[in-house]
Structure 1
Amino acid sequence: MSSSPSSRAQEAREAIAVRLREMRLDAGITARELAVRCAWSESKSSRIEHAKTPPSDADIRAWSTACGVAGQADDLIAANRQADSMYVQWKRLQRTGLRRLQESGVPLYEQTRQFHVYCSNVVPGFFQTPGYAAALLTSIAKFRGTPDDVADAVTARMNRSRVIREGDHRFAVLVEEAVLRYRIGSPEVMAAQLGHLLSVMALPSVSLGIIPFTAPRDSWPLETFTIFDGQRVHVETLSAAIKETQPSDVALYLKAFGNLHEIAAYGADARSLITSAIDMLPAA
């Protein structure tokens, strides 16, 4: 069984720590001497070598220079950044608010040609209405205690969503029927959101499948994930955003998407599930 993304991130950090220790040993200097050359404490060297403290870019450059191999710093920094980006807690991503996080994803969204998206809990971001996005982001900001920039974040999310109508992009999207029933915002907000789904599923760039409650299934509901051009996967958990680029892991998510695709309803059947959810909303 494949290890978890968080454990693989730790393994990557440990590999960097081992490489730094090997550099020191190859240079023939002690941890104390390295600390003196880098102008920091010996305990810091120990924490870095044992993967207890992740090194900064400056730490790696100082370490490499102290060991007489400054030319190796750039490759180590790149590897360190990759390890650091594999598993990033939401509190770190959202520490300055929600708007910047929405904007940071624009370049990737614009360059991606084929999206595979699976959502088990909320409507996919680029299909959200302003009202639905505001209700959702407000609850996220409140839960995580982030700065209140929801209005700006909603605007940024709507701007990012232009990719469904602009450029050469294709969207294969699957949502669980439960997403249609979860009440995010008022009944009016939900009615508008569900009506918007009926509109976007008619776009030539969009394939929207709804996985019915009653579908016989071998695949259980999974965490929400997005696959970008079959090359990388972003997975959303309660505590962290996970990025997968290892080919075998990307292939696993593509396989899961394919299995879920087989049991999803499309076309008139999908529209019927959406209209049924609208009909179940309480009258205004």
Structure 2
Amino acid sequence: MSTDFQTARVALGVRLRELRTEAGLTGRELALMLAWQPSKVSRLEHGKQTATKTDLEAWAAAVGAASTTDDLFARLRNLETQHQSWRRQLSAGHRGVQERIGAEQQATQTWRGYETSVIPGLFQTPDYARSVFLHGSNVHQSPQDTEDAVRARMKRQDVLYEPGKTFRVLVWEAALLVLLCPREAMAGQLDRMAGLIGRDNIELGIIPLGVPIASTTKHGFWIFDESRVTVETISVELRLDAAEDVELYGRVWDKLNEAAVYGAQAHRLIARARSSLSA
């Protein structure tokens, strides 16, 4: 369990205890009112058990503080949103992060992803990935275990060839044009992207620059088995598993997908980006 998650759960417990004591109730009295075991009240107040929305609603009603229900729900959402600091994750370099992601993706069957300015890691060539990791190390001032990280990322790509796995990925055309690596490496990366089009288990859509869209292209995100979402910001990795968050990101992906092109049209955009490298 992450430190951030536990800290948020303890904070929620403190607030629950405040509401109980303000109502002049003991833990046993509250448990009796709710038909709970006294140990459940104690576990919730000490951050040793995660409350459900039903628990919070019942608690607020029992202590005569129904008006605090929305606040408690918001605290629960904050708890469910796990913030994984990149500084902490990269303290020993990128390799460990890649191996952790690789282990997690073994349990995933369907990916829906969207990237705005970088080629998705699952589709990167070694040369492109090398540049990405070097940039990341410089920004976060983390250890440069670049070659180990590249090997770990390439190993992660074995999942592309496993039966039963489906990848539905959207990339904004800008990602084909941003030079995060030398031009020769970018040419190889674009060739790799073109080669993925037409694969049975990969749906690669490109969102053209200038096309009307029904949703903003704020940041990249990935939806795993329609059950959780990850979002990478500059400082943290967000892990969202609340049903409403997963549904929200699913709707945004659907809107972006309406603007994407596939097949021959996607090939033409990749070819145009490649030709610009020699301009």
* TM-score bin (small chain): 0.7 to 0.9
Displacement of 1:152 in angstroms is 0.4
Q: Indicate conservation of the 8 Å contact 1:117/1:225, yes or no.
A: yes
Matches of 1:249 and 1:84 in 2, distance apart? 10
| Residue 246 of structure 1 pairs with residue 270 of structure 2 | no
Q: Structure 1, unaligned stretches of length 5 or more? A: 1-7, 29-66
| Residue 15 of structure 1 pairs with residue 28 of structure 2 | no
Query: Could you tell me which amino acid in structure 2 is paired with residue 102 of structure 1?
Result: Q
Query: Could you tell me which amino acid in structure 1 is paired with residue 14 of structure 2?
Result: A
Taking only the aligned residue pairs, the percentage that are identical comes to 31
Matches of 1:103 and 1:181 in 2, distance apart? 28
Structure 1 69/181 Cα, relative in aligned 2: closer, same or farther at 3 Å?
A: closer
| Residue 108 of structure 1 pairs with residue 130 of structure 2 | no
Query: Could you tell me which amino acid in structure 1 is paired with residue 206 of structure 2?
Result: I
Q: Indicate conservation of the 8 Å contact 1:13/1:83, yes or no.
A: no
Displacement of 1:239 in angstroms is 1.2
| Residue 258 of structure 1 pairs with residue 258 of structure 2 | no
Matches of 1:133 and 1:23 in 2, distance apart? 53
| Residue 196 of structure 1 pairs with residue 192 of structure 2 | yes
Structure 1 259/12 Cα, relative in aligned 2: closer, same or farther at 3 Å?
A: farther
Q: Deviations over 1:229-274 (max 9, x none)?
A: 0000001111110011111111000000000000101100000000
Q: Indicate conservation of the 8 Å contact 2:80/2:241, yes or no.
A: no
| Residue 134 of structure 1 pairs with residue 105 of structure 2 | no
Structure 1 27/260 Cα, relative in aligned 2: closer, same or farther at 3 Å?
A: closer
Q: Indicate conservation of the 8 Å contact 1:9/1:84, yes or no.
A: no
SS of residue paired to 2:106? helix
Matches of 1:69 and 1:215 in 2, distance apart? 54
Matches of 2:120 and 2:95 in 1, distance apart? 17
Which residue number corresponds to residue 176 of structure 1? Answer: 172
Tell me the number of residue pairs that the alignment of Structure 1 and Structure 2 aligns.
237
Which residue number corresponds to residue 63 of structure 1? Answer: none
Displacement of 1:89 in angstroms is 1.6
Query: Could you tell me which amino acid in structure 1 is paired with residue 132 of structure 2?
Result: L
Which residue number corresponds to residue 282 of structure 1? Answer: 278
SS of residue paired to 2:96? helix
Matches of 1:246 and 1:69 in 2, distance apart? 23
Q: Indicate conservation of the 8 Å contact 2:206/2:266, yes or no.
A: yes
Query: Could you tell me which amino acid in structure 1 is paired with residue 240 of structure 2?
Result: E
Q: Indicate conservation of the 8 Å contact 1:118/1:257, yes or no.
A: yes
Q: Indicate conservation of the 8 Å contact 2:168/2:203, yes or no.
A: yes
175-184 or 11-20: bigger deviation? 11-20
Structure 1 9/240 Cα, relative in aligned 2: closer, same or farther at 3 Å?
A: farther
